[in-house]
Amino acid sequence: MPLTAGIVGLPNVGKSTLFNAITKKNILAANYPFATIEPNVGMVIVPDKRLDFLNNLIKPKSLVPTTFEFTDIAGLVKGASHGEGLGNKFLSHIKNVDAIVEVVRCFDDSNITHVEGDPDPLRDIEIIDVEFIFCDLEVVDNRLGKIEKKAISTKDKDALKEVDLLKRVKNSLENNIPARRLDYTDEELKTLKAFNLLTMKPVIYVANIKEGEIGKENDYVKTVTDYAKKDNAEVIVLCAKIEEELSGFEEDEKEAFLKDLGIEESGLDKLIKASYSLLGLQTYFTAGEKEVRAWTFKKGMKAPACAGIIHSDFEKGFIRAEVISFSDYEKYNGEKGAKEAGKLRSEGKEYIMQDGDVCLFRFNN
């Protein structure tokens, strides 16, 4: 199952407009709450100039980029954890994502309704935080109710550890501190993973600004940036409306438009890359005349497991990986030049794959 980032926010902050840009799909983006009822899922291409280089150099018959999944989820409102708005339906959808992209409205516009009356980024973020916290508290309390008495009476060490961990998380949540801000051991993280807590999910904030404010100082954006520091979270500043327009352009038109705006890279491309990185995802390449392809792997994976992404037989019969780092591949203008410079390496089963590796896997049938 692919990893996915869920786009969340209050109604009318630009979520669906952003999703339109991300997937180039024309879903409903109406000026009223709950225009998006069911979660919309879309696959996006992860922008990667390294893949463009390989394509231009090798000119393969087929080019396959790596992809990433985004889910657009209906707008949340205050009281969702108690059934307001779409309530539990929203919360069940967001539980299924691996990371959260939270869109925050950072502009004034009397023509666009705000569910809380007027824009206030800090208040809007805190509304979502509180709803997630209430949801997580319910999960933690339910679990404690099932195991605490038994753990104390039986003195089971593992159960007592879990009770202590859950009480620490509960105390944090009751003080409006998301669970992800606590420090955990690897064992504790493994325990918590089973509960799928919303406030454990990593987050990126998207500050959605007006068209005329690109490159300008924005107090709303500063508020979001200051808040994001608490989670060491990234903030992507963009104009969802412009990103939606850009998504319909050809690549050369897009580049010219961005140049006119004084921007090197679209906010959308930054968001896709940031979301990909947030989940610890990296890319390796296979490169031949038939096909140049980018493959997604989890940071820290060893060569046999990465080979298994292509086909399970590659992992089972793994012998070695012939690897050239992308920087060497580029520097020496391809495989032949890299080999002649002694930059092709033969790596075994313990090799930890690196982002940008260009690989050929050897295996027994």
The helix or strand, by DSSP H or E, that contains position 104, with its residue range, turns out to be strand 99-105
Inform me whether the pLDDT recorded for 343 exceeds 70: yes
Residue 42: the pLDDT is 78
Inform me whether the pLDDT recorded for 341 exceeds 80: yes
- What is the pLDDT averaged over residues 228-239? 93
pLDDT band at 301 (very low <50, low <70, confident <90, very high): very high
Inform me whether the pLDDT recorded for 86 exceeds 50: no
For residue range 99-111, list pLDDT tens digits in order.
Answer: 999 999 999 887 7
CA distances from residue 58 to 18, 49, 91, 192, 332 in whole angstroms, order as listed: 34, 14, 47, 46, 13
128 CB-near residues (< 8 Å, 6+ apart): 8, 9, 10, 76, 102
- What is the pLDDT averaged over residues 282-291? 96
Residue 3: the pLDDT is 80
Inform me whether the pLDDT recorded for 180 exceeds 90: yes
Residue 31: the pLDDT is 42
Least confident of 8-17, 84-93, 121-130: 84-93
Residue 37: the pLDDT is 39
Q: Could you tell me which residue, 123 or 247, shows the higher pLDDT? A: 123
Residue 320: the pLDDT is 96
Residue 330: the pLDDT is 97
Name the residue among 336, 223, 238 with its Cα closest to residue 287: 336
DSSP state of 158: H
Q: Which residues are 102's β-sheet partners?
A: 8, 205
Residue 67: the pLDDT is 85
Name the residue among 23, 6, 33 with its Cα closest to residue 91: 6
The CA radius of gyration of the chain, in Å to the nearest whole number, is 23
For residue range 235-265, list pLDDT tens digits in order.
Answer: 999 999 999 888 888 888 888 988 888 888 8
Residue 87: the pLDDT is 45
**Region for residue 177 given its phi and psi (left: phi exceeds 0; alpha: psi -120 to 50; beta: otherwise):** beta
Q: Are strands 203-208 and 235-238 parallel, antiparallel or unpaired?
A: parallel
For all residues of the chain together, what is the average pLDDT? 87
> Could you give the CA distance from residue 361 to residue 45 in angstroms, rounded to a whole number?
25
Inform me whether the pLDDT recorded for 28 exceeds 60: no
> Could you give the CA distance from residue 158 to residue 216 in angstroms, rounded to a whole number?
54
For residue range 201-220, list pLDDT tens digits in order.
Answer: 999 999 999 988 888 889 99
- Amino acid (one-letter) located at 251: E
Residue 105: the pLDDT is 93
Name the residue among 319, 331, 350 with its Cα closest to residue 339: 331
CA distances from residue 298 to 38, 107, 180, 184, 346 in whole angstroms, order as listed: 29, 37, 20, 21, 21
- What is the pLDDT averaged over residues 299-320? 95
Phi, psi at residue 13, to the nearest 5°? -100, -5
Q: Which two three-digit tokens encode residue 179?
A: 């669970």
Q: Give the best-scoring range by mean pLDDT among 95-109, 268-282, 324-338.
A: 324-338
